[in-house]
Amino acid sequence: MDAAPPLPRDLRGRTMLVTGANAGIGYWCAEQLAARGARVVLGCRSPERAATAVTAIRTQVPDADLRVLPLDLGSLDSVAEAAADVGERLDAVVCNAGVKAADRSARTSDGFDLMVGTNFLGHFALVAQLEPHLAPDARVVTVGSIAHRFATLDPATLDAPWTGSSLRQYGRSKAALMAFTFEQSRRWSRSPRMSVSAHPGYAIDPLTPPRPGLAEVSGFVRALATPTRMLVQGKDGGALPIVHAATSGAVTNGDYWGPGGLLEFRGAPARVAASEEVRSTAIGAALWAAAESITRVRFPD
């Protein structure tokens, strides 16, 4: 089979931070951005897993311009240290890192619910503290999920112990992240900056091309998964709407992108609909205030 043609190096001179870049969709965002010439800052909590990702990217893009930024989104101290260590202008921040946890008692090191704390509050605090480093036309892209529709979002009980299924709580964490994005897009309505959300559809490791040291999947499992390609996709495909949101000239402030295929599970990037709840001005403003109060991190005025 012929090798894929090289991507245009259209992102040279641009620096993009990807959180959770050592695995899964975040890894693929980093590889795809590096292949297009961007300098990529990999925000990762494990130096070993980050080093594995750097080596894997270099197997594909030997001259990739990469830097690892230690970042644990489950620790506000780590988030503050990472923001203080950035020290360079960022053209995009991709808020990708995320956890799904079945355990109701799982907490971040600050005592927040693990999913809301990592997926939303960690990114909220990170973006707030990165503001001074953002380029005048920077984009902040958050990774949302179809699951945002499975939950109701009440800013007043953002960090309350959760009941119901873990999928619902995961959906709540993603809905909060998306409502933050749309609130930020309103606050940036007179700025060249863009706040955008994108989701990866349904992306699984067995359909993902192998990379050394990353999510190793046996040939048997890959073969078993092959028929699912009709419906779902690899994590390389899941990265496409997110990279598109971070880079494409077709994107506008406040957009939401995802795969354009059946059920938004797979396919080429397309503009998709977010729930009325996450687009609500009242919910967005209340959520922002709740997040500032819970994290004690404020956006600069």
Does 259 bind ligand NAP (CB under 6 A)? Our answer is: no
Does 199 bind ligand NAP (CB under 6 A)? Our answer is: yes
Question: How far apart (Å, rounded) are the C-alpha atoms in residues 121 and 208?
Answer: 29
Question: How far apart (Å, rounded) are the C-alpha atoms in residues 26 and 32?
Answer: 10
Choices 6-14, 21-29, 185-193, 276-284; region in contact with ligand NAP by CB under 6 A: 21-29
HSE-up of residue 294 (Cα within 13 Å, Cβ side) = 23
Q: Which residues of 86-123 are buried (b: 16+ CB within 10 A; e: fewer)?
A: beeebbbbbbbbbbebeeeeeebebebbbbbbbbbbbb
Does 129 bind ligand NAP (CB under 6 A)? Our answer is: no
Question: How far apart (Å, rounded) are the C-alpha atoms in residues 112 and 110?
Answer: 6
Residues 142-171, one symbol each (x = binds ligand NAP by CB under 6 A, - = not), give: -x-x--------------------------
Choices 4-12, 90-98, 223-231, 248-256; region in contact with ligand NAP by CB under 6 A: 90-98
Residues 216-245, one symbol each (x = binds ligand NAP by CB under 6 A, - = not), give: -------------------x--x-------
Does 202 bind ligand NAP (CB under 6 A)? Our answer is: yes
Does 32 bind ligand NAP (CB under 6 A)? Our answer is: no
Residue 27 annotated in active site? no
Does 208 bind ligand NAP (CB under 6 A)? Our answer is: no
Choices 44-52, 85-93, 216-224, 271-279; region in contact with ligand NAP by CB under 6 A: 44-52
Question: How far apart (Å, rounded) are the C-alpha atoms in residues 232 and 203?
Answer: 6
Closest CA to 206 of 183, 176, 237: 237
Residue 173 near residue 119 (C-beta atoms within 8 A):
yes
Could you identify the residue written with the tokens 């409502």?
Answer: 179
How many chain residues touch ligand NAP (CB under 6 A)? 27
Question: How far apart (Å, rounded) are the C-alpha atoms in residues 289 and 155?
Answer: 9
Does 23 bind ligand NAP (CB under 6 A)? Our answer is: yes
The residues that are catalytic are 170
Instruction: Please report, as ranges, the residues that interact with ligand NAP according to CB under 6 A.
Output: 19-20, 22-26, 45-46, 49, 71-74, 96-99, 118, 143, 145, 199-200, 202-203, 235, 238
